[in-house]
Amino acid sequence: MFHAGLVLYPDNMNNEELGQAIVNKNKLLGAVYENTAEAFAIFKSSASNIISQLATKYSDKDFTFYDKGEFEFDIRFGADVLVFSMHSNTFEFSRFHEVMKLPYIKEDKERSFCGMINIYNFLTDSFDYHRENDLGYLIGRLFINKEKHYFIEGKREIGLLFSNFNTSVVNKESIEYIIRSAMEYANNFDLLTPPFEAVKVITVGDFMSLPTQRKQITAKRLGFEFKQDTA
């Protein structure tokens, strides 16, 4: 039975060609995943060491590390939480993405397949007081390919130019730099008072609920903006 939309061409791959193409693609995806998982393990150990050193020098209550399993961990420092999350899948960039214009990618299209590690910024109080309506921000996402080359999309303090993709190799030194840069950005990314018009009305139900603060949305910026903040 033929499915609607399926077009068969005379030059379709034979079984051997199809099988080899699938095996090759699977090897590529596996190599990218292994590189990303290896980098994430370094992220986890480096973040734990940085937080441990800060906690020893200052107050251990202000610096904590939480291992959330194979694909996630978070670090808490002062008023901020950074959540590092590794995606289990491998991605390719859209043909319209700037990175696809690089000679590095045009020489070998397989270099455009990447694993992804996201870095989110939340308020510590959002977790401590279980304020489920509070907002977090994606401040950066790291892409790693089969050659362990990487670049970061994100905030100016963290992100790298796409043109560095061909020379930037992910290692312990670069990972420690990324973690410290993310911490510095979060520490300098201040909580702003929400516009009066946005909070001047509250329902009786919300006001009488205990605790009331759980019904209010708190974030460093009202709304989500992935590009460089204008405020």
Q: What pLDDT, on the 0 to 100 scale, is given for residue 201?
A: 62
**Is residue 9 situated within a structural domain?**
no
3-state per-residue secondary structure call for the chain: CCCCCCCCCCCCCCHHHHHHHHHHHHHHHHHHHHHHHHHHHHHHHHHHHHHHHHHHHCCCCCEEEEECCCCEEEEEECCEEEEEEECCCCEECCCCCHHHHCHHHHHCHHHHEEEEEEEEEEEHHHHHCCCCCCCCEEEEEEEECCCCEEEEEECCCCCCCHHHCCCCECCHHHHHHHHHHHHHHHHHCCCCCCCHHHHCCCCHHHHHCCCHHHHCCCCCCCCCCCCCCCC
Q: What pLDDT, on the 0 to 100 scale, is given for residue 230?
A: 39
**Is residue 208 situated within a structural domain?**
no
pLDDT in tens, 176-231: 999 999 999 999 876 555 566 655 666 656 655 655 554 566 656 533 333 333 33
Token code pair at residue 48: 């734990």
Residue 158 has pLDDT above 90, yes or no: no
Q: What pLDDT, on the 0 to 100 scale, is given for residue 134?
A: 80
What is the C-alpha to C-alpha distance for residues 208 and 223, in angstroms, rounded to an integer?
A: 26
**Is residue 3 situated within a structural domain?**
no
**Is residue 124 situated within a structural domain?**
yes
Q: Which domain holds residue 126?
A: 17-191
Which residues contact residue 173 at a Cβ distance below 8 angstroms, ignoring those fewer than 6 apart?
Answer: none
Report the predicted TM-score, pTM, of the whole model to 2 decimal places. Answer: 0.81
Residue 92 has pLDDT above 50, yes or no: yes
**Is residue 231 situated within a structural domain?**
no
Token code pair at residue 173: 């030194």
Q: How many domains does the chain have?
A: 1
**Is residue 198 situated within a structural domain?**
no
pLDDT in tens, 118-137: 999 999 888 888 888 788 88
Q: How confident is the model at residue 60 (pLDDT cuts 50, 70, 90)?
A: confident
**Is residue 222 situated within a structural domain?**
no
What is the C-alpha to C-alpha distance for residues 116 and 76, in angstroms, rounded to an integer?
A: 22
The residue with tokens 């940085």 is 50
- Across all residues in the chain, what is the average pLDDT? 83
**Is residue 6 situated within a structural domain?**
no
